[in-house]
Amino acid sequence: MENAQMVSIIPLFYGAMPNLGSYYQSLGGPWPAPTELLKQGKIKESRETQERAAADLETDIIYIAKIMDQAGSDGFDFDTAGAYGDAEFYATLRAIEQVKRETNLAVEVGMAGEIISGMHCELDYQGTRLAGLWPHQQGKLIEKAGASMYGPVVNTKTTKSFPWNLGRALTFIKAVTKEVQIPIHCNMGMGVCGVPMSETPPIDAVTRAAKAMVEIADIDGV
Amino acid sequence: MAIGLGGLRTAGDLVARAQMEKKLKIRDAKTYVAKKLAVEPMTLSDEYAMAELRKKLDIGLIIGLTGYAKGLAAKARIAKTCDFRINCVTRLFQKTTLNTP
């Protein structure tokens, strides 16, 4: 990062996934996996393990963010936040607060999916339950936490056509740009925000989706 | 390329910094940058006009012409011109402050 900052002119962010899954024993982490506990009917234990993993994740994020701040990074990008459900999103929101308080980094948050899955179901942030939040609701919390930019996601339904998916994505993102006051940089990779799900999406679909997002949904970036 | 402002070819990097630092939506970010550069917002997307302006202000170019600011030097000039707080530039000045006896 230090070397890159010396020679570059455009803003450079450090991007990382707040990957709650890697804190569970199934992926080499210290805590029992909540999915295994749920299979045994241990709901309370499942919630507890997610809370502990979320606390560890928060600690690790701020550790890395401080180092990147010292290295001169322009910002920190939380990529695919909320992939492992509401506990991961909870850790992300609390980490954003700390990063904004203790570093000079701009913060961007790109989501993993259009809805926050309720792996825990009883976690809330400033009075709002996190399970089941849609993009326009997620963005409001990310804005409250202090982030500079928000990247909503709308999942592409692979059994539907490109116009269908684009129309649906535009409907979601229009709600986001109406409700959320920070810049909106929607995620437009493969399978999200109207872009077809394939390794090399057709360029005519990608350009049409991008243009539509700019002109109809009024986004601030991609 | 389909929808972008043009990055370093134009004023994309400056508008991006206005968004991330000042949390401005794109229209406000463009207005802010245009005001700082003393141009109309439409000029920000003009590759030729912005190349000439960036040479004049020495705030970095898409091609590495000899004698023009690059890297940290360009960012230091961007920070001053557009009133941005750029992390690596601040740290450079902190590191290079010499205490004279």
- The pLDDT of residue A11 is above 70: yes
pLDDT score at A80? 94
Whether B41 and B30 have beta carbons less than 8 Å apart is answered as: yes
Distance from the B17 Cα atom to the nearest Cα atom in chain A, whole angstroms: 7
Q: Which residues sit opposite A184 in a β-bridge?
A: A150
Task: Please state, in angstroms and rounded to a whole number, the distance separating the CA atoms of residues B79 and A169.
Answer: 36
What does the pLDDT look like over A132-151, one tens digit per residue?
A: 999 999 999 999 999 999 99
> Best interface-test mutation with B: which of A2, A5, A9, A220 has the largest number of B CBs within 10 A?
A9
- The pLDDT of residue A29 is above 80: yes
What does the pLDDT look like over A104-115, one tens digit per residue?
A: 999 999 999 999
Tell if the CB–CB gap between B20 and A149 is shorter than 8 Å: yes
Confidence class of residue B82 from pLDDT cuts 50, 70 and 90? very high
What one-letter code names the amino acid at A215?
Answer: E
The average pLDDT across A61-78 equals 96
pLDDT score at B101? 47
The average pLDDT across B76-84 equals 97
pLDDT score at A153? 96
Residue entry with tokens 């070819």? B9
- Which helix (H) or strand (E) element contains residue A77? strand A75-81
As a whole number of Å, the end-to-end CA separation of chain B is: 53
pLDDT score at B3? 66
Q: What is the DSSP letter of A24?
A: B
pLDDT score at B5? 82
H-assigned helices in B1-101:
12-22, 26-37, 47-57, 71-82, 87-95
Tell if the CB–CB gap between A220 and B2 is shorter than 8 Å: no
